[in-house]
Amino acid sequence: MSDAEELAGVVGDLLAERLGPDTVRDLGRTWAADLWGELEGLGMTTVDVPERLGGGGGTTAEALTVVRVAGYHNAPIPLAESAFVGGWLKSRAGLPVSEGPSGTALCRNRSVYLDDSDGRPRLTGTVAVPWGRHARELLVVLEEGDATQLAVVDPAAAGAALTWTHGSNVAGEPRDEVRLTGAVCREVHDLPGVSIEDAHARAALGRAALMVGALERVVDLSLGHVTVREQFGRPLARFQVIAHYLATMTTQLVAARASLEGAARAAEESAPHEVDSMAVAAAKTRAGASAEVITLLGHQVHGAIGTTEEHELGLSSRRLWAWRDEDGDEQYWSGVLGRQLASRAYGSGLWPVLAPV
């Protein structure tokens, strides 16, 4: 058994115990603070942070495994946003791990301005921060000329300089926006070798892992349902068309999972903890394509019961509908992939790019 599989087992068992469908629903738009603390204590929120910074020193693939399992269990915690993206940003800036989730904000299009004129760096602008209301610190990624910077804001200290607007995605997860009015930064660091596009790709990779977990859950729920539910005197699974739906769903799941694993591997191969934006683009595109088919067929085999708030299918399908649009949808990432591949293939041909030696 690989380290990643072992990790999946440990985290999966814990989440299964803590998060029944009722718990996830009851938590609604808030979050599982205790669970976050528990996972933090186990080192599950800092899996691939280097040991010298207080992390587990694991691989990107291992960190993604934890995120995927969290997606499977609809975990109401910012594991992708805080742990997988925030933790990575901090370690790239050389910052040690700290307690509590961080909120990450990628300021593309210079939506936030850094004023460092009096030696006390301050931020002004408006930016989206998923799970922002629960964040112990804000990690704001900015582009300054050719460089990328990480500004850390302590929400408790910034006080009135932050104005929050609470929002949520279609799954009811917190999707907040914050207006910074000269908010004082605790610290500002360079992010060497990281572009804002890299950070965006890292976020998309975490999102794809959440999606693959949720896809797996919908397929499992559907497989369970069609073997138990009877219609016309036989289990649904005995109808050929239903069996074919499940075959198609499984195929779509396997494709999304394989593409995610490809991106995880590419992240390790390029350099430890790097992002390979083309592999990420493929993984997020593929996860979105699978989400379309799997939510469609998953709801179709469940029938009316699957459309109720009470049924757990909706916990996963709503997340998939939200997540496929977050951190870049299929159109965005397929455009990135198509553009990058075509330009790299120009002259040499496509094949040497796809199968390098």
Partner 1 sequence: MTAVKIGDRVVIGEADFPESARRLRLEVRAFLTRARADGRYTPSCDAWHVGFDPGFSAELGSRGWLGVSWPKEAGGQGGSALDRFVVTEELLAAGAPVAAHWVSDRQTGPALLRYGSRKQRETLLPEMAAGRLFFALGLSEPGSGSDLASVRTKATRCDGGWVLQGSKIWTSHAHRCQFVMVLARTSGRHGDRHRGLSQLIVDLAAPGVDIRPIRILDGSHHFNEVFFDDVFVPDGMLLGNEGEGWAQLRAELALERSGPERFMSNYPLLEALAREVAKHGDPQAEQTFGELMAEFTTLRRLSAGVAAEVDSGRSPTLMSALVKDLGTQFEHKIPDAVRRAVPAHRRTIETDLGRALRDAVLFGPGMKFRGGTNEILREIVAKELGL
Q: Which residues are near partner 1 by CB under 8 A?
A: 16, 216, 219-221, 223-224, 226-227, 237, 240, 243-244, 246-248, 250-251, 253-255, 257-259, 261-262, 265, 279, 281-283, 285-286, 289, 330-331, 333-339, 341-343, 345-346, 349-352, 354-355, 357
In whole angstroms, what is the distance from residue 25 CA to residue 93 CA? 36
Tell me the residue type at 165: T
Q: Which pair of tokens denotes residue 89?
A: 């940003």
> Of the two residues 42 and 223, which places its CB atom closer to partner 1 in the complex?
223
161 CB contacts (<8 Å, ≥6 apart)? Answer: 122, 180, 181, 182, 183, 184
What's the min distance (Å) between Cβ of 166 and partner 1? Answer: 32
DSSP per position, 246-297:
HHHHHHHHHHHHHHHHHHHHHHHHHSTT---HHHHHHHHHHHHHHHHHHHHH
> Of the two residues 96 and 338, which places its CB atom closer to partner 1 in the complex?
338
> Of the two residues 28 and 224, which places its CB atom closer to partner 1 in the complex?
224
What's the min distance (Å) between Cβ of 116 and partner 1? Answer: 37
**CA distance readout (Å), 71 to 5, 30, 157, 239, 275:** 15, 17, 32, 30, 21
Q: Which pair of tokens denotes residue 62?
A: 């291992």
What's the min distance (Å) between Cβ of 347 and partner 1? Answer: 9
> Of the two residues 170 and 223, which places its CB atom closer to partner 1 in the complex?
223
What's the min distance (Å) between Cβ of 243 and partner 1? Answer: 4
What's the min distance (Å) between Cβ of 197 and partner 1? Answer: 15
> Of the two residues 261 and 326, which places its CB atom closer to partner 1 in the complex?
261
